[in-house]
Amino acid sequence: MTAADGLPLIAARRMQAAGSPGPLQLLHNGRMKKLKHEAELFKAALLAGVRYAEDRKAVEFEATDSASAKALYVYRLLVHDKVITPMPEGQVSEKTIRHRLAAWYAHQLPQGHPLLG
């Protein structure tokens, strides 16, 4: 069985599980598929990512740090730690980082979680 672009379905699912916008998340026009509850998933992902970074003693965020700055730092840290695959630099934007973090967090949730439905 293969995904839309000819990759074996297992490889496509591994790419998606690793947080990359693999063939199962991309539409034919190259845009990422909107996740249901993406805003809530991003908020939860940001909290989890901040906790991950601070527990790792990589950073101490200030109360005045913006969500965008935190998201960019968390994204770069997760890429550095090889938790998620990096996007090409030309695709890195606030919108794609929010989507990538939301997808990363969604893959950690148990099947049937309300945010996945």
Does domain 35-116 sit in CATH 3.40.50.920?
A: no
Phi first, then psi, for residue 2 (nearest 5°) are: -125, 160
Identity (one letter) of the amino acid at 54?
A: E
**Residues 57, 81 contacting (CB under 8 angstroms):** no
Nearest 5°: the CA angle 105, 47, 104 is 15
Q: How far is CA 14 from CA 18, 23, 50, 105, in A?
A: 6, 11, 25, 15
pTM score of the predicted model: 0.72
Per-residue pLDDT of the chain (117 residues; tens, 9 = 90+): 334 444 444 544 555 555 544 433 444 445 667 788 999 999 999 999 999 999 999 999 999 999 999 999 999 999 999 999 999 999 999 999 999 999 999 999 999 999 988
pLDDT at 34 (0 to 100):
79
The pair of three-digit structure tokens given for residue 30, joined into one six-digit string: 């190259």
End-to-end CA distance of the chain: 25
How many C-beta atoms lie closer than 10 Å to residue 107's C-beta? 13
pLDDT at 93 (0 to 100):
97
pLDDT at 17 (0 to 100):
54
Can you tell me the distance from the alpha carbon of 68 to that of 99, in angstroms, rounded to the nearest whole number? 12
pLDDT at 7 (0 to 100):
40
Listed in order, the ranges of the chain carrying CATH 1.20.120.1930 are 35-116
